[in-house]
Chains A and B, each alone.
Chain A
Amino acid sequence: MRIGASVLCIALLLAAACQREKRDIRPSPTNLAIYDDAAKQSTLRPGGPITPQPVVRNPYNSSGYDISEGQRLFQWYNCNGCHANGGGGIGPPLIKTEWIYGGEPANIFDTIVKGRPNGMPAWGGRIPEYQIWQIVTYVRSMNGQQPTSAMPVRADTIETNPQNIVNRVPGQTK
Chain B
Amino acid sequence: MRRAALPGLALSLLLSCAGHQQSTVDPAGPQSGKIDTLWWSFFWLLGVIFVIVMAVLLLTLTRRQPDTEQELLESTHKPSEQTDSRIRRVVVGATIVTILTLFVLIVASVGTGKAIADLSFKKNPLTIQVTGIQWWWQIQYMSSDPSQTLVTANELHIPVGRPIQILGLSQDVIHSFWVPNLHGKRDLIPSHTTNEWIEADRPGVYRGQCAEFCGLQHAHMVLWVIAEPEDKFEAWMRAQLQPAVSPSSPDTQRGQQVFLNHACIYCHQIRGTTAAGQNAPDLTHFGSRRGIAANTVPNTKGNLAGWIVDPQTKKPGNHMATIAVNSTDLQPLVDYLESLK
Contact = CB atoms under 8 A, between A and B. Distances in A.
Interface of A: 25-31, 72, 76-77, 126-128, 130-131
A30 B319 CA distance: 18
A27 B316 CA distance: 11
Interface in B260-299: 263, 266-267, 279
A30 B324 contact: yes
Given A30-B324, A128-B324, A25 B312 contact: yes
A162 B321 CA distance: 43
Contacts of B279: 76
Interface of B: 263, 266-267, 279, 310, 312-313, 316-317, 319, 321-324
A77 B266 contact: yes
Closest 9 CB pairs of A and B: A29-B324, A29-B322, A26-B312, A76-B279, A127-B263, A29-B323, A25-B316, A128-B321, A128-B323
Nearest to A28: B322
Nearest to B311: A26
A27 B323 CA distance: 10
Nearest to B325: A29
Contacts of A76: 266-267, 279
Contact of A127 (B266, B310, B313, B319): B266
Contacts of B312: 25-26
Given A25-B316, A26-B310, A26-B322, A128 B263 contact: yes
Contacts of B322: 26-29, 128, 130
Nearest to B313: A26
A7 B312 CA distance: 37
Nearest to B277: A76
B61 to A, nearest CB: 49
Q: Is the interface of A mostly helix, strand, loop or mixed?
A: loop
A28 B310 CA distance: 9
Contacts of B319: 72
A25 B310 CA distance: 11
A128 B311 CA distance: 14
Contacts of A72: 319
Contact of B321 (A26, A28, A131): A131
Contacts of B321: 29, 127-128, 131
A70 to B, nearest CB: 13
Contacts of A130: 322
B317 A25 contact: yes
13 contacts: A26-B312, A27-B322, A28-B322, A29-B321, A29-B323, A31-B324, A77-B266, A126-B266, A127-B263, A127-B323, A128-B321, A128-B322, A128-B324
B58 to A, nearest CB: 51
Nearest to A76: B279
A94 to B, nearest CB: 20
Nearest to B265: A126
A76 B316 CA distance: 20
**Most A CB within 10 A of own CB, among B267, B310, B324:** B324
Given A29-B321, A29-B323, A128-B322, 8 more contacts: A25-B316, A26-B322, A27-B322, A29-B324, A72-B319, A128-B263, A128-B321, A131-B321
A126 B263 contact: yes
